[in-house]
Structure 1
Amino acid sequence: MVTKLIKVEAIKRILNGEICVACQASTKDNFLRQVRLLRLGSIKFFDQVPISLNESCLNHLQSYICRNCLQNLPILSHNKIWQSEKMRLQVNSLFSYQRPISNMIVQLKFYHKQYFAKLLAIFIFLLRQKFLLDNQDSIFVPIPLHQNRLKERGYNQAELIIKETAKLANLNFDNKLLLRTKITKKQTEVKGFEERQKNMSEAFVINSAYHIEHLNKFKKKQVVLFDDVLTTGSTIEAATKPLLKAGFKVKALTIAREDFI
C-alpha cells in the first residue's frame, strides 16, 4: 500500500510539473522559468531553434523537463542523414539514442506513460521546423504495429508521437495507408543485421481496403514514414518497399537512432 501511495504521489508531482519526467529531478529551479524567450539561445537545446517558435511548446517543455536534461540532449545536426544502401531512402533523426531521450522512449513504449508522446512531438516541432515545412504536402505515416501487438500494448507509440506532431504543425496524418500483416519478433530480440532483415521481410502491405481514388490522390504526394528509433534500418526499409511499389516517394523521420548507424 505504501509503495502504491509513493507511485501515486510521484505521478502527481510529474503531472503538476514538480519533477522532471526524464530524470525525476526537481524542476522548481528550472532555468527556463527565469528567462525570456529571446534569451533561450543560451541553452544548448535551443541553439537550433528559430526565435519565431511556438512559446506554448516551450512552456510545456519547461514544465516537465529539468534544465540539466535540456542542456544534455543528444541532438543530431540537420544534415546528419542516414542513407539506405538498398533503396532511395533517407532517414532524418533528431537525437542519438542516449539519455534522457532513450529513457523517455522506453517509458512511453513499455510503461504506458503516454504523456511522453506530446513531449517528443514538441521536440520534433522545435528542432525540425524546416523539415516539417518542406514536407507540408506529404503524408506522415507511422510505422504500424501488427494487430496482435497493438492489442497487447494498447497503442502504437509511433502513431501517438506523429499524431501530436501533426496537430502542432498542421500536417497530413494517416494511420491506415500501411498495414503490418506479418507477426514478427521484437527487433530488440533479434541479433544481427541479416537476421533483422529476415524478421521484417514482407511484414508490411498497402491497405487494400482503401478506395482506388483515394490511393491515386495519395500517389501525387510524398510519404514521410515515422518511427521512434532507427536501429539497423530494417523496419523502415521493409515498410518503404510496398510504398515505392505503389508509386509513392518516401522519406523517413525518427526521434532517435542508434550510434552505430
Structure 2
Amino acid sequence: MIDLHYWPTPNGKKVTIFLEETGTPYRVVPVNISRGDQFSPEFLKLNPNHRMPAIVDHEPKDGGGPIGVFESGAILFYLAEKTGKFWPQDLRSKYEVTQWVVWQVANQGPKLGEAGHFRRLGDREGDQSYAVRRFTDEANRLYGVLNMRLRDRRYLAGDEFTIADVISYPWTVNWQAQGQEIDEFRHFKRWFEEVGARPGVQRGLAVGADLATDNSKLPPEEQERIRKILYNQRAIPVAD
C-alpha cells in the first residue's frame, strides 16, 4: 500500500494520475497547504523541503521497511520502477523518457507556476507588468517546445504513453490562467486532448476535488493569512 501525502495541485495530480493509470493501491493523506500542514514536524520528516506530494511505500520491492520518497519526479521514477509501467528500461527509451521528466521538473513546472502566480497577483505588490510579461512569454516558449516535440510523435517520448506524459500534463490544464491560447499549438492540442480523454487521467485529476477550496471567495483577512503561508517563505530555524 502507498500512502500519498497530497493536496489537489498540479504536482499532486502527477502522482494520482500515475496511481490511477496503473491501478496501484494507495491511500490519500491530505496535506492542507493553506492551513500549513506541510510545516508540521511529521511531514518535515518525509520532506525537509516542506512541499507535497510525498509517498510512503509500505511494501517496497526489496522487502524491507517502509520507504519514503519526496519530489514528484523522484516519486514517478520510484513508482514506475516498482510497477514496471510507463518507464521502459532499454537504454535509449529509458533516457528518452528521463530527459523529459527532468525537463518538466526543471522548466515547465516552475515557469508555468510563476506565470500563474504573477498573473493572479495583480497590483497588490506594486507593478508586476515585467514579471507577468516575462513568465507569460516563457510559458509560451515552453508550450512551443511541447508543440515542436509532438509534431512527429504521439507522445513525448515516442509512440507509448509514459511518465513523461504523466508528469507534464497536469501543468497544462490551466493554460488559460497562464495567458496561453492552445489553438496556437495544434500538435500540443492534439496530445492534450488525447491524454485528457484517458479514464485514468480523468480519475487522477478528480482525486481530492472535495478538498479544494476557492480562496477568492474567502474573507480578505483569510486570503491574506493563506498568502503569508504559501508565499515569501524564509528558512525554518534550526536548533543548535
Same fold (TM over 0.5): no
TM-score normalized with structure 1 length: 0.31
Task: Tell me which of the two structures has the higher relative contact order, counting C-alpha pairs closer than 8 angstroms and 6 or more residues apart.
Answer: 2
TM-score by length of 2: 0.33
The structure richer in helix per residue is 2
